[in-house]
Chain A
Amino acid sequence: DTEVTQTPKHLVMGMTNKKSLKCEQHMGHRAMYWYKQKAKKPPELMFVYSYEKLSINESVPSRFSPECPNSSLLNLHLHALQPEDSALYLCASSGGDSGIYGYTFGSGTRLTVV
């Protein structure tokens, strides 16, 4: 299995809702990432988990809450989002701590906040 699977593919939520994005990989990768991508822009790093511990938080607002329940799963909990948070949310993983071999990205969750 050489894939990163993200669910759901599309999500529409109101500003008072709570929802979660899910990401799963079975490649034995020990680093997992959340990125946010706005239209016609490169992905922006949000969080990095290494060996199931949060290692990088790029000053992301607290309405985004990551969780890594085990080495194969990564969640992003969403609460009280704003319309400007609408974007494509990408999960990725990489082998070990180094990105030397590149990341494997999921196909993303397209989030719309109304």
Chain B
Amino acid sequence: GDSVTQMEGPVTLSEEAFLTINCTYTATGYPSLFWYVQYPGEGLQLLLKATKADDKGSNKGFEATYRKETTSFHLEKGSVQVSDSAVYFCALSGPQETSGSRLTFGEGTQLTVNP
């Protein structure tokens, strides 16, 4: 079945450092790929998405490129801020099923950014 593997955390960085969170996936067909962010005590927010190979998703300074050849969707940001401290989930949605779609999550990566 489908699966998502994220780099293990926690990740601790200083403000303005460069961020990479690795994500690789296994899926049949051509999944859509997502990064979700969860701030403490809140639900998940869609950070960015890519729906086909070589698409680049971007939002709030974060970027990720859908790489079919390496089955990867790594999250990057050039200069992190304290407010970026959160848990980041990589996820995929498989080809449309009979009805409703299933979102498969990675284990999540806790990011802490220190001033």
Interface residues of A (CB under 8 A from B): 4, 6, 31, 33, 40-43, 45, 48-51, 53, 55-56, 88, 90, 92, 94, 97-108
On whether the beta carbons of B46 and A100 are closer than 8 Å, the reply is no
Interface centre among B49, B96, B99 (most CB of A within 10 A): B99
Q: Which chain A residues lie closer than 8 Å to B98 at the CB level?
A: 55
**What is the CA–CA distance of A43 and B110 in the complex, to the nearest angstrom?**
15
Interface size class of B (residues with CB under 8 A): 20 to 34
CB distance from A114 to the nearest CB of B (A): 20
Q: What are 19 A-B pairs with beta-carbon distances under 8 A?
A: A4-B43, A33-B100, A40-B108, A41-B108, A42-B108, A48-B99, A50-B99, A51-B99, A53-B99, A55-B99, A55-B100, A88-B43, A99-B93, A99-B102, A99-B103, A100-B51, A101-B49, A103-B103, A106-B43
CB distance from B115 to the nearest CB of A (A): 24
User: Which residues of B in the span 78-115 have a Cβ within 8 Å of any Cβ on A?
Assistant: 89, 93, 96-103, 105-108, 110
Is B44's CB within 8 Å of the partner chain A? yes
Nearest CB in chain B to that of A90: its residue: B43
Interface residues of B (CB under 8 A from A): 32, 34, 36, 42-46, 49, 51, 89, 93, 96-103, 105-108, 110
Nearest CB in chain B to that of A48: its residue: B100
Q: Which chain A residues lie closer than 8 Å to B110 at the CB level?
A: 40
Q: Which chain B residues lie closer than 8 Å to A40 at the CB level?
A: 108, 110
9 residue pairs, one from A and one from B, having the closest CB atoms? A99-B101, A99-B93, A48-B100, A50-B99, A42-B105, A50-B100, A107-B43, A105-B43, A55-B99
